[in-house]
Chain A
Amino acid sequence: MTAVPLTPVRRWILRTQSAHRERGATAGNIYFTVLFIAVVGGMLHKQLAVVFWPTHPNASRLAAASLVPILFGLLYLALRRFGPLALSRPAAAWLLPAPVSRRALLLPSLRLTAIVAAIIGALAGIAIVGHGAPRTLDGSEVALLASGAGLVGIALLLVALAAQAGGRWGDRLDAVVSLLLAAGLAGLVADATGNHPVAATGWPSAGTLVPLVGAVALVVALLFALAVRGLARTPNERILEAAKTAGTLFDSAFGMEPSFLTDMIERRYWAHRKLRSVRLPDRLPVLVGQDLLLVARRRRRLLWLLLAAALPVLLTEAPHWLIGLAILVGALLSASTAGGNVKTDAGNPVLLRLLGLTSRDAILQRMWVPGALAALWSALALGLLSALDDLPPGPWWALGLVLSPVGAVAAVRRARVGFVRNELLPLDTPMGTVSTGPLVNALVGPDALLLGIPALVAIAQHNELSWLTVLVQATVGVLGARAYVAGTTATDRVELHATR
């Protein structure tokens, strides 16, 4: 097969596109990006220092070792989620089916992704060194460690690339990496609960690092060359899928509409699942049974929720109100696991009309499972904190259980929010114009967590918990949920939104 040379095609596209652009638009974009990074970096340099390079190393050996699978595991999973090899949507539509060299078409995308992976890997490496290594380390040693981490980033990209082209083993590897990530988180939690000394010793010298990093560089370079050779073998459908992801990502960013992306991930998840029809549970109200089925089919997410109940332990050194906030947000997130059906109904009421239930019945039934999830998660998280003596004595698990209506209202309210209203008036601030639509949209749902203020105050005060506080939280939660249901649903209306 004769391949049409790609370079002239690309050059022609670029020329034609730039003919429609203003003169100097590209230079302007680069200028603004650099300026933005400089300004934000200048504003946040103290916070960045805390994250990447604290004044003294502050991690124990366990914590530093746990950070490795967490940071690099996240990088790998993100690479897998987004491709890693993607094309822009126009290129996927017009150039992929054209008789051009596949390798030449995909190489720029691979190059760009490799640079991004190397930078993220190096940053992760610097952060781990910054927290775990003694300040006696040379600049050259830090540079070697960072470049080694950058090379690991590229190596992960190459593995993800092979997984994108390959078969089922990619999914299995994802599961293994997820397990490693979970193990890393467990390590951090264990580090926070025990009394592990900060141990900034045992780092290799430059003499041992040079041959090591050199060998890694050689291996990565070899693998990269092999990957470029095999680039043409990446199946079309995988590239198309990744191109769709990239396109949706840009749509989400430009339209400031995160639901484009989350909906796509959700659709893709179910498209890959093989399901078997079951009978809906007989004894439960019909929509409760449906929510239960949905949650039961997301077992892996339930497992993550279970593990995440240990994460507030990481905040024991932080101000107490932050633990309270983490508990409330966790209740919202765990309740949202069952939010997919409300979201469908809020977006398009056709199935609700077919079901013929009142909006009040529908929402009441839809709050059961989120409420149960929020109650179990908060009780587990608070019970764990209390068992580890990070909280004063008291029935903290009960306080977690009565957060049930708070989580349910917040999750259902969040699921009903719909699209961002970009027609809302923008706010002019000294820092520039802020569009209020996405802000308002992001707050709908989490705002209902205000119903959890009694619990937040109890955790923040760090005093012994009385049953009276539990009772107050239960009452506020139930009254708030009643008010929410009464105010946003009706017995004479099927649709969730009051129409016209």
Chain B
Amino acid sequence: MDHPAVEATGLHVSYGSTPVLVDVSLTVPAGSGVCVTGENGIGKSTLLRCVSSLQQPDDGEILVFGGTPGATPEFWRAVVTTVEPPTWYPGLTVREHAELVCRAHGQDPSDAGIDEALERFGLAGHADAIPPSLSSGQKQRLTLAVALLRPSSLLILDEPEQRLDPEGRAEVAALLVQYVADGGSLLMASHDEAFAEASGAEVTTMESLSAVAP
């Protein structure tokens, strides 16, 4: 399997008459990380949504591991994205959410390191809480913790540093370095240059991805 993790060419997306992506091309080689930076409204999230198959580009081609991204179970077993926030299940605690996802992927919940992950993301004290009762930062950390717990080949993260405190950012960056070192591929959007550097991803700007200078 020597396809790149993500290969997008000539993407065009516009909302009404406002062009957001104009001839954007992006390649994430398998087993490496790419971080897209740029100011608000420049189309980072739109690009990530397109790659996650959550939005159809007006024009252009996207290949994820050589295949067309789609709603198939194979795609979602390989790809994890935090582009959209989840709606949590009723009456299920933080820890049980993590266990549910691990079990669905055939992991033994006692070996999956759920407690360590919750500890690392500062959620150990909230393991018995229901996610809607958490603060927005804690919810974000829970989403990240669950995304990193389950097996995957490609992580697509939209501003994972958002709503995290400085220690949290350092922790997450270290985990992303580990994820790529273990053979995973990473595509993320970020505002925080220092975080992007720390995560070991190759930093690129939205402007440099577009064939047409804005």
Contacts and interface: CB of A to CB of B under 8 A. Distances in A.
Contacts of A48: none
A277 B124 CA distance: 12
Interface residues of B, number: 37
Contacts of B146: 354
Interface in B45-103: 56, 71-73, 76-77, 80-81, 84-96, 99-101, 103
Interface string A252-290: 000000000000001100110111111110000011011
A297 B150 CA distance: 26
15 contacts: A266-B90, A267-B132, A277-B94, A277-B127, A280-B96, A287-B104, A290-B96, A293-B96, A354-B80, A354-B147, A355-B100, A356-B104, A357-B73, A357-B104, A493-B73
B90 A341 contact: yes
Nearest to A499: B71
Given A351-B89, A356-B73, 9 more contacts: A267-B90, A273-B130, A277-B95, A290-B89, A294-B91, A340-B90, A341-B90, A350-B85, A356-B150
A277 B130 contact: no
Given A355-B100, A499-B71, A277 B91 contact: no
Closest CB pairs A-B (n = 7): A348-B87, A350-B86, A277-B95, A355-B104, A356-B77, A286-B103, A340-B90
Contacts of B127: 277
A347 interface: yes
B3 interface: no
A340 B86 CA distance: 15
A293 B85 CA distance: 24
A32 to B, nearest CB: 39
Contact of A276 (B81, B128, B132, B133): B128
- Which of A271, A350, A354 has the most CB atoms of chain B within a 10 A radius of its CB? A354
Interface in A447-500: 491-495, 499-500
Looking at B81, B86, B90, B127, which has the most chain A CB atoms within 10 Å of its CB? Answer: B90
Contacts of A298: 91
Contacts of A266: 90
Nearest to B90: A340
B104 A270 contact: no
Interface of A: 266-267, 270-271, 273-280, 286-287, 289-290, 293-294, 297-298, 340-341, 344, 347-348, 350-351, 353-358, 491-495, 499-500
B76 A348 contact: no
B109 interface: yes
A360 B201 CA distance: 37
Contact of A294 (B84, B88, B90, B132): B90
A19 to B, nearest CB: 36
B96 A277 contact: yes
A376 B98 CA distance: 31
A273 B85 CA distance: 24
B73 A358 contact: yes
Given A277-B127, A356-B105, A358-B73, A351 B90 contact: no
A500 B99 CA distance: 32
Contacts of B84: 348, 350
A290 B101 contact: no
A350 B91 contact: no
Contacts of A499: 71
A404 to B, nearest CB: 23
B104 A341 contact: no
A500 B128 contact: no
